[in-house]
Amino acid sequence: MSAAAASSAFPRSTLVHGNDETGVSALATGIALRGYGRFRWVDCARPAPVEDHPSHWIFARGAELPELEQVDGSALVTSSWAPTSFRELVAPSGPDEERRLASFLSLPPLYQRLGARELDRDDPVAILLANVDALPSAEGGLRLDDRVLHERLHLAGIAVFATAREEPSRGLAAAFDRVYAVEVPAGSTWSHGLVEAEKDAGASASWKSMPLRDAWRTLELDPTLLPPL
């Protein structure tokens, strides 16, 4: 799918998890680039960027530097914005624009920072959250296992791509529109792993699980993200 084609589609959320962080990062990056051409990113598990960390090299294909160096609980608190004050702040051009802006203003600061549109662009924004299993889960925050948060992100025109090193909880997997798992056998490089489409309405049953390189071709991802054979 081209970036132009994806920009007219309704944004969806995608989770990639598995036992090899580099392979998981490459797959999430490939899917995000295929649909949107670029993305903003942040590593939820460690301060970024780390010059010698493979996943950060890969994420630099979407944006050279992370949008935030580190994520803390204050970036995830529920917005205190009141819908009744909406029309005092902006004059939307129509109902669709009003819904988008209202959804955006209701998001926690982290998602507003990552998902803010550029002045000269009106297409959806892609964001990538690496290692979301490390996000703090304090009370009062909107977490990625909350489907309401995903619906607000969709309405705000934000496509979310996320990675996790641990098996996602049932709630986290259920909240995402698409979920892929990467399994790399011990002693193998990540490009020799397997990919399973655990949740993807667009994936045919014939490729429910397949070698990662075959999945790369099936998903039409950028081959330059793969190491040479």
pLDDT at 200: 83
- Residue 99 backbone phi and psi in degrees, to 5: -65, -40
74 vs 167, higher pLDDT: 167
Beta strand segments in 108-193, E: 125-130, 158-164, 178-183
125-172: per-residue pLDDT in tens? 999 999 999 887 655 556 788 898 899 899 888 999 999 999 999 999
Residue type, 141: G
Domain boundaries, the chain: 3-225
> What distance in Å separates the CA atoms of residue 24 and residue 182, rounded to the nearest whole number?
6
> How far is it, in rounded angstroms, from Cα 84 to Cα 80?
12
Answer yes or no: CATH 3.40.50 is held by domain 3-225.
yes
Q: What are the pLDDT digits (tens) for 19-28?
A: 999 999 999 9
Please name the residue ranges forming H helices in 49-146: 54-59, 86-89, 95-105, 109-115
Residue 223 in this model has a pLDDT that exceeds 70: yes
Band of the pLDDT at 97, cuts 50, 70, 90? low
What tens digit of pLDDT does each residue of 164-212 get?
999 999 999 999 999 999 999 999 999 999 999 999 866 655 567 899 9
Q: Which range (8-12, 24-28, 219-223) has the least confidence?
A: 8-12
| CA pair distance 28, 50, nearest whole angstrom | 19
Could you tell me the sign of the dihedral formed by the alpha carbons of 31, 35, 37, 39, in that order? negative
Look at strands 178-183 and 125-130 and give their pairing.
Answer: unpaired
**pLDDT band for position 115 (cuts 50, 70, 90):** confident
For residue 175, give the nearest of 140, 197, 148 by alpha carbon.
148
Q: What residues have CB less than 8 Å from 91, skipping those under 6 apart?
A: none
Which among 36, 38, 14 has a CA at the least distance from the CA of 200? 14
Distance (Å) of CA 172 to CA 14, 168, 176, 195: 11, 6, 7, 19
